[in-house]
Structure 1
């Protein structure tokens, strides 16, 4: 059981506060591997920007024993207190994972724990964050980024993606998919927040050809899929398909497909006793050596270690 401290402040959005509580906390009695505790600088009643109040029972001392500290939001024009920043720094120095959701990344930046590294925030606030904290590299082209000890996300719905990523990292793909099914969201969106920045409306937004191409490819993860075959399946030229796929997802088709294959392999390792060669074949890698290569390159581990870490706990969340 990991302890999660979720920081709340006066005037915050209740949606942002609810995201980590929903994904990581108790959902109508559904078993969870997280003990989620909402905390504030001063326990007691807090206002929200939705016209109703909440009562917070815990103070910042919860951060001193938390395994994960979630900063769900912030008011960028507000200067965080020295007490709050010190609590974040102490938690991070002790080994807690610090998660900044949406403009909660302003608190991550202010604490200094990500200096010299990358953070993500809502695209609307990215320039402000970069100007205020030049020691950071601020990204507005991805939904979330994971530095190992610090995780940050883009706005609103991508906070759900980020929290599901945390579950996936700490308890495995099957655990994250169970949570995603519970709350009825996609278990894994690999994409770019650039696709949400205002752009001209396409001629026929209802006909999402790239989504159809994704579904087609996901149903064939155990088979070789060439770019020519993939584009032809949705009646597009290779050039148009490549351009539109990147515009839609922020990734090349082959990079996206590799991630889908890795997730399939991780799920099979967590939920079956299949030998590594069979896992490789059923996830489209062809050989155990190829699977091991990509596991090491992208996940920094091996299929065997992933199975040892997640197989026994896969059905407990």
Structure 2
């Protein structure tokens, strides 16, 4: 039997902790047998969550006996884990144990040095902090999970479910994993990555900036013809000067800002209306539905139709 040790640290996120316990605990093989034994362990007998306290039935010695270790995330502001946690994780990694993190659990793995030189992910909102805090880690904020073989990381809480099902499939095949997915009422594979969940808002400019009136005009005229020459004239500058000032104040080019603003407008329309893709493309200012689909997928990671299915107002879809 394969032991999965779930490491509970103070201020552990409840969903991150429960996901591996439930997924691995419910897996059944074709003969009805349980292939996994789940052991919740902690450096101290009691673990304080945000709204609960649990008594962990196992101490850190469970990490030595595990075939897989799952490290859930902890709430923002949680104190660093004690040194013995990092020592136990490093020892397990050296012994070849498979180690996976859910959401902010990637910070624990990174602090232990287990992500150095590896590609990794975490919740999109924390990806920048992870990259700044651990420059030796190649942070990819756009995916649901990263499988490096022995070391795996996943994004936010729901992506932890994706990762656990992926591990079940690695261990026992697609049929067993698909049955586990059905128990959790989720697809075995979700379309797209984290990009579809990230608010894609064009970069802001400082209040009082000379560009503020121009950017407001762009927002009001996204469906019309917006050219560099027209924007420069409105700003009272030459095109080269306008482009330079624009990059200085927004960190991007006028074209990239415009395209992102149009994608954001399209997202809002897909979320709140039942208009067809062609109509959404036109209202957002794209020259064709094909160009719209291509740009939307580049930014959001999914098709406009898939985005609407995930985030559209159910009232508009039912009318």
- Tell me which interval the TM-score lies in, with the shorter structure as reference length: 0.5 to 0.7
Shift of 1:175: 1.1
Equivalent in the alignment of 1:249: 301
Report the CA distance between 1:196 and its aligned residue: 0.6
**Residues 23-172 of structure 1 correspond to what in structure 2 (within 5 A)?**
23-26=23-26, 31-43=33-45, 45-50=46-51, 52-75=52-75, 77=77, 78-172=79-173
Deviating beyond 4 angstroms after TM superposition, the runs of 4 or more aligned structure 1 residues are 206-210
CA distances 1:20-40 after superposition (whole Å, capped 9, x unpaired)? 011111379x74311110000
Q: How big is each residue's C-alpha offset from its partner over 1:138-163, in whole Å with a ceiling of 9 and x where there is no partner?
A: 11111100000100011111111111
1:204 to 234, 254, 270: 270
Q: Secondary structure of 2:152's match?
A: strand
- Distance in 1, matches of 2:48 and 2:146, equals 30
Residues 237 and 250 of structure 1, relative CA distance in 2, 3 Å threshold: closer
Residue 21 (1) aligns with residue 18 (2): no
Is there any run of 5+ residues in structure 1 with no aligned partner, and where?
Answer: 211-235, 252-317
Report the TM-score when normalising by structure 1.
Answer: 0.65
Answer yes or no: is the 8 Å Cα contact 2:10–2:74 preserved in 1: no
TM-score by length of 2: 0.65
Residue 248 of structure 1 deviates from its aligned partner by 4.1
Give the deviation of 1:177 after TM superposition.
0.6
Unaligned runs of 5+ in 2: 201-263, 278-287, 304-319
Root-mean-square deviation (CA, aligned residues, Å) is 2.5
Cα distance change on mapping 1:76 and 1:147 into 2, 3 Å: farther
Report the CA distance shift for 1:137/1:182 in structure 2 as closer, same or farther (over 3 A). Answer: same
Residues paired across the two proteins, number? 224
In 1, distance between residues paired with 2:35 and 2:276? 38
Q: Secondary structure at the match of 1:41?
A: coil
CA distance in 2, matches of 1:240, 1:179: 37
- Aligned mates of 2:157, 2:61 — CA distance in 1: 27
CA contact (8 A) 2:11 2:74 kept: no
